[in-house]
Every structure is written in structure tokens, then in C-alpha cells.
Amino acid sequence: MSLKQVTTPLTDEAVAELRAGDRVLISGYIYAARDAAHKRLYELLQKGEELPFDIEGAVVYYVGPTPPKPGQVIGSAGPTTSGRMDPYTPALIRVGLKGMIGKGLRSQAVKDAMKEHGAVYFAAVGGAGALIAKSIVESEVVAYEDLGAEAIRRLRVENFPVVVVNDRYGGDLYEEGRARYRLAEE
């Protein structure tokens, strides 16, 4: 298990280097987007319209932060369950999305799209929202302000800690990790 550093936007070469189980520190810009925002992005793609941010090499973070206290860049900001974004994700990967940060299982369709187009799924620690917020140094709403906690935000992150769960080669840490530690019934 190695500790790697990556900078966004992600290139194909950077994605190719990442393997399930790698611990990674992400720096650069990532985009906070969750359920309602994904629905809107998907609808734009269906209509063949422009997305409100550059998707090429982009990394999205499934998060709905708490409101910041005065003086805070962002409130608590841990990952939300990724599976709810599964219906919209393959379409985003097809147009250039290279990375996703969340928690929990992905559908086969998402994993297939990741293999085909070269993308990576990272897990951040669910429930560690106060700690994760420390690696977010800037936050700016770039679209859908009306969605409140679900608006799309551009976040500048420094050494944002994640683990690679699904790599572009079909590696799956949820399956491999569980198999490694599973014990037979007594």
C-alpha cells in the first residue's frame, strides 16, 4: 500500500498509475456535486448542452456540506453515499470525468464505464467531515445556487486524503478488502 500524490485535472497517465488500495492525497480543484446537481448535469447532456464547468479531467466530490460558521471556508464536508449518483455517472464519464470521491458501492454500469474510458473512484472517510474540511482551502459556488447544500461548488483542496476503491483495470478494494479479512462461519 503506497501513498501517492495527484493534482487535478487528472490526466489519463495519472489515472493509469492508480490502483485499488492506494492511499492518495489530492491537490487542485475538485467539484462538489450531489443528487439534484447530478440530475441537472445529466439533463444538460441529454439535450446536448454545455455543462457549467469543464468536465475534462475533472474530479467530482459527492458532498453536501453543513453551512460554514463565520470565518470558515466550508462547514463539515465528508462524503455522501455514491450509489445514488450511479444512474447519472456513466454519461459524465463518457464526456471526460476522470475521478469521483464518495463512499460506498458503485453499480456495474459505473465500473464498466470507468474501465472503458479510464476513470478512478476514490473513497473518503464517511463521517470525518470536520477533519476533511481542513484540506479544503477555497470554496466557491459555480452553479445551481438555488440548490443550497446541493449546489455545485469549486473547491480548492490541498492534500485531500482518499483511498482508491475502483481503478481503471477493474480492481475493487471493497471486494478485495472484504475477501482478505472475511472469516468462515464458526
Partner 1 sequence: MREIDVARVAEAVARLCEEASMDLGEDAFAALERALEQEESPVGKDVIGQLIENARLARKEWVPMCQDTGVAVVLVDVGQDVHVVGGSLEEAINAGVRKGYQEGYLRKSVVGDPFERKNTGDNTPAVIHYRVVPGDRLRITVLPKGAGSENMSALKMLTPADGLEGVMDFVVDVVDEAGSNPCPPIIVGVGVGGTMDQAALLAKRALARPVGQPHRRPEIAGVEEKLLQRINRLGIGPQGLGGRVTALAVHMEVYPTHIACLPVAVNLQCHAARHKEAVL
Active-site annotation, residues: 38
- Please state, in angstroms and as integers, the Cα–Cα distance from residue 38 to each residue in 60, 149, 163, 185, following that order: 10, 13, 23, 41
Quote the least distance from Cβ 13 to partner 1, whole Å. 25
Rule CB under 8 A: say whether 148 interacts with partner 1: yes
Output 127 or 170, the one with its CB closest to partner 1.
Answer: 127
Looking only at residues 41 through 70 of this chain, which bind partner 1 when binding is defined by CB under 8 A?
63-69
Query: What is the nearest approach in angstroms of partner 1 to the Cβ of residue 95?
Result: 27
Minimum CB separation of residue 56 from partner 1 in Å reads 28
CA proximity to 172, closest of 21, 2, 12: 21
State the Cα–Cα distance between residues 1 and 80, nearest whole angstrom.
25
Site string for partner 1, 90-129 (x = CB under 8 A): -------------xxx-----------------x-xxxxx
Contacts with 71 (C-beta within 8 Å, 6 or more apart), sequence order? none
Closest-CA residue to 102 (of 61, 159, 66): 61
Work out which of 11, 27, 72, 107 binds partner 1, going by CB under 8 A. Answer: 72
